[in-house]
Amino acid sequence: MLLLSCTNCCFNGLQADGFGARAGYCVEHRAVLHSAESLTCGRQLRRDLLLPEANDESALHQQAFSRDEIVHIRTKASARSSGHADGDISVLIQTAPGKEVTNYGRLGTKIESLARLSMIAGARAELARLSLGRTYVRRCVQLGGEWTSGIHQLSWTIDRLLEPPDVGFDDLWDEIPLPQSRQRELAQWSIVMLRLTFLSDVGYLAPDTDDVAALRDLPEKAASALDNVDVRALMAWIVKAGWAAANEAFPRARYEELADTLHRDPDAPALEAAPSNARVSSGSKRSRAGAKTSSVPGRSRSGAKPRSRARKG
Amino acid sequence: MAARFGRVWTTSGEKAEALGAKHLNQTELESILKSSTTGRAHWPNARQRLQARAFVERHAEHLIDFRSFRTKPATVADTVREMFEKA
């Protein structure tokens, strides 16, 4: 994989380095990517970098490649002209994640697609949700919205932190001289780091004074505690420190308050008056931890009430 | 894939070492990319270092280390020309 290729781009939610679908799909260009590792365009958002680094690299990448066309990295020849990008999604839609990704953004339904991806089991769906989720929140803020456009994904991601990624052997597609069991571990590592990277992104998009900003350096903290690319050690760190840090930065109680503020139905009763069974996950481990850690739910570090303006990306 | 505007150049670890550079095989690369703040591949960002280590492992990376030429930079260009051949 080339770091500058579509394989390493968040807009291609179906593939990552060594796992995912055989063909990729670019939600920006609405194109199936054949041999994505040799293709790119000026819109690339690198999956392996945290948001500030990815934005810096994106600015440089746009100087070298057009945003309007997928091209071969080495020749800049059109990928559509060579047949390496096309609109035939018939194979991709045979899997549930492929169907959601190829539908992503059609009819203004990005957040609905992300919600459906969050309910599909397996690493492919999680890879797609996290990759496209990064582009969604980033773009919302670029268009003048707030980091709060990502609160649902933020909550879904924190809820999954303690679960080992569900990577199957049929999710691996590299023919490389590594045992499949190790390839699987590397893929799991990539997913867990992508979870932390998504949390970090939202932290960077939030104001410095907000509690959520504490998520910015979560991936770096995790890596600093490890000597090797060892997914078990990484998960152990999350159990020991990462999960609590994430919940402290964004407690369940704050999520519920923000969600209620952002999506309140004027005809519905206020949160306090809602039926007791309205929160399906209210008995989750995170919910209980959030209740402990959030002494002032809905408040930022500065003590200010959160602004509630959000905008769809 | 060299295509129209590129060209593939080849060399070997033995040839690189014979010309004064150091060939770092995959095992050596992985060992120096441990997440510490010291060593030959020290780097202030632990996440990036581990990411590099994952790339090295997944793609069986190896590289030629030209740091021995830091004290004789004028000779690097000639050495590189001698080291690589057009494929």
Q: What is the ipTM of this complex?
A: 0.81
Whether A11 and A157 map to the same domain: the answer is no
Whether the predicted pLDDT of A191 surpasses 50: yes
Q: Which residues contact A33 (CB under 8 A, 6 or more apart)?
A: A6, A12, A15, A23, A24, A25, A26, A39, A70, A79, A84, A85
Continuous segment of H or E residues that includes residue A200: helix A180-205
| Chain B residue at shortest CA distance from A39 | B1
Whether A34 and A137 map to the same domain: the answer is no
Sequence spans of domains, chain B: 1-21+66-87, 26-61
Lowest mean pLDDT among A107-121, A197-211, A265-279: A265-279
Whether A23 and A81 map to the same domain: the answer is yes
Last residue of a domain, one of A64, A94, A124: A94
Whether the predicted pLDDT of A244 surpasses 90: yes
Whether A226 and B3 lie within 8 Å, measured CB to CB: no
Per-residue pLDDT, A307: 44
A&B contacts, CB < 8 Å: 63
Last residue of a domain, one of A94, A120, A150: A94
Q: Please count the structural domains in chain A.
A: 2
Q: What is the three-class DSSP state of A263?
A: coil
Whether the predicted pLDDT of A250 surpasses 90: yes
Name the pTM for this structure: 0.86
The stretches in chain B having pLDDT less than 70 are: 1-6, 35-38
Whether A89 and A125 map to the same domain: the answer is no
Contact in structure between B51 and A48 (CB atoms under 8 Å): yes
Q: Which residues contact B81 (CB under 8 A, 6 or more apart)?
A: none
Does B54 contact chain A (CB < 8 Å)?
yes
Whether A146 and A182 map to the same domain: the answer is yes
Whether A78 and A120 map to the same domain: the answer is no
Whether A4 and A118 map to the same domain: the answer is no
Whether A127 and A239 map to the same domain: the answer is yes
Burial class of residue B67, CB neighbours in 10 A (0-12, 13-18, 19+): exposed
Whether the predicted pLDDT of A302 surpasses 50: no
Per-residue pLDDT, A281: 43
Does B27 contact chain A (CB < 8 Å)?
no
Whether A148 and A209 map to the same domain: the answer is yes
Average pLDDT over residues A140-166: 96
Sign of CA dihedral A100, A105, A106, A109: positive
Average pLDDT over residues A199-218: 98
Whether A184 and A313 map to the same domain: the answer is yes
Whether B58 and A224 lie within 8 Å, measured CB to CB: no
Lowest mean pLDDT among A7-16, A156-165, A201-210, A268-277: A268-277
Q: Among candidates B78, B69, B66, B63, which has minimal Cα distance to B30?
A: B63
Per-residue pLDDT, A305: 44
Instruction: Tell me which residue in A17, A178, A219 faces B47 most closely, judged by beta carbons.
Output: A219
Q: Residue A6 is part of which domain span? A: 1-94
pLDDT bin (cut points 50, 70, 90) of residue A283 is: very low
